[in-house]
Amino acid sequence: MKRKAVQNFGRIINTDENGTSLGDHPTKPFLGTAHLFEEGYVNLFGCSVNPFVEEFDDQLGVAVGGPNIHIYRMPVLEPKLELAAAGELDEEEDLYTVAWCYDKGENLHKIATGGVSGVVYIVDAASMEVQRQLLGAGNAINDIKTCPTDSEIIAAASADRTIRIYHIKEPTCLILIGGRFSHHDSIVSIDWVSNAEKLYSCGFDHKVMCWDLNSRRVKAHIADCCRIIRSGQPLGDILEYSHSSGIQGVNQLFDLEGHTMLIKKPENSINDVHFDCVDSLRVVDYKEKAYVISKSTGHGRKICFWRIGTFGQETEMVHRDEISTSHTKIAEMSIDDGYPWFGKIDVDVTGKWLAAPGDSGNIHLYNLKNRNERKAFLDLKVPDMKDTMIRQVMFSPNGRLLFVVGDAGFVARIDRVPDNATNVVDVW
């Protein structure tokens, strides 16, 4: 596989809409083109599309569930799903999430995946062999996201109420996010801003938090650790913790290594956008501001489009030891079949389309440019999946494909339809 020549694959919405937006069919902008059920019908919880391949090359999606890791090739010019590689962990495992990484030293594509055991497995995409296990989490791994500015750095959200930031070549985390100011229950979803200076998180406690990674302290620590790892030397202890009286208690709680830096307090904590479990969020950047699209489940199920900060000329007075709570709500969308949790949403690269899974074999497409419309612009009904839940949807980096996984081993491909297409009919 050839690597895409790009340094940042975060979602940055270009303000010149006429220059970069894809022309969409006016009534059927997306089309179901291929689907299959994996042998064994194991529930597939996580998927990811490789952001490190060229835009016009065949796209690669990875799907995980149980102990299985399967890579699918999606040809650009043919409506097909082709199994390109398959792997199975030796350990008893139920994988929930997966992300693509890129080893800059070895020039190889990697896969980071984790699940119920709390272990993050680093898998070589060519051989499908586990090369490393990243340790430390005390409960299940619910989400993994690759840093948009460094393909060797990942963040992993856990049911133990923490987030760990790892280098894929180091078995213990460089940064631990958690503590009494953090989430009070399982963290289900995370996402980076496009410049990797902040990390958003959400979970069972219906809170959304924003963590600042842009301080000189944090940036210097990550840079130092990466430099030492690249040199092949062991990581040393953090000097600022060497005389800390409270570090022993924290160490007993989180089983830290000496090189793990703690971030205990979020920059922002928002608890009144949602009032039930927030199981998925995505962050897009527009005109140098981060906008959040978050989905809640249960009786309070809905999708919200919002941002951190006050509206207009209003200001928020935040004292030194306080956490900011201000936010501005932009739009709200309904999702009637979104009661169960663990259904992950995604936003395409143009920032126009939001894809959300339903619990009855439905995939909902919302037009984010029309913020006054609460309902989905398009609902796609998956064939042969009555009352079965879609677990994750993910756009390809070029915005032309949507990769889908769900219960009973379901895998699907959805294609974007250009505005000049005729006789548009689902073929899956």
Q: Which CATH superfamily is domain 12-416 in?
A: YVTN repeat-like/Quinoprotein amine dehydrogenase (2.130.10.10)
Distances (CA, A) of 57 to 21, 48, 53, 219, 426: 20, 16, 7, 34, 24
d(CA 141, CA 95): 8
DSSP result, 333-360: E--TT--SS--B-EE-TTS-EEEEE-TT
312 backbone φψ class: left, alpha, beta (φ>0; ψ -120 to 50): left
Element (H, E) at 365: strand 362-367
Please name the residues in contact with 374: beta carbons below 8 A apart, sequence gap of 6 or more.
Answer: 332, 333, 334
d(CA 51, CA 403): 13
Helices (H), 164-255: 216-231, 247-254
User: pLDDT tens-digit profile of 172-184?
Assistant: 999 999 999 999 9
d(CA 209, CA 178): 11
76 backbone φψ class: left, alpha, beta (φ>0; ψ -120 to 50): alpha
pLDDT in tens, the chain (428 residues): 544 544 455 556 554 444 445 689 999 999 999 999 999 889 999 999 999 999 889 999 999 999 999 999 999 989 999 999 999 999 899 999 999 999 998 889 999 999 999 999 999 999 999 999 999 999 999 999 999 999 999 999 999 999 999 999 999 999 999 999 999 999 999 999 999 999 999 999 999 999 999 999 999 999 999 999 999 999 988 765 555 555 655 665 565 678 999 999 999 999 999 999 999 999 999 888 999 999 999 999 999 999 999 988 777 888 878 999 999 999 999 999 999 999 999 999 999 999 999 988 999 999 999 989 999 999 999 887 777 799 999 999 999 999 999 999 999 999 999 988 887 777 77
Kindly list the domain boundaries of the chain, sorted by start residue.
Answer: 12-416
Encoding tokens for residue 97? 């999430």
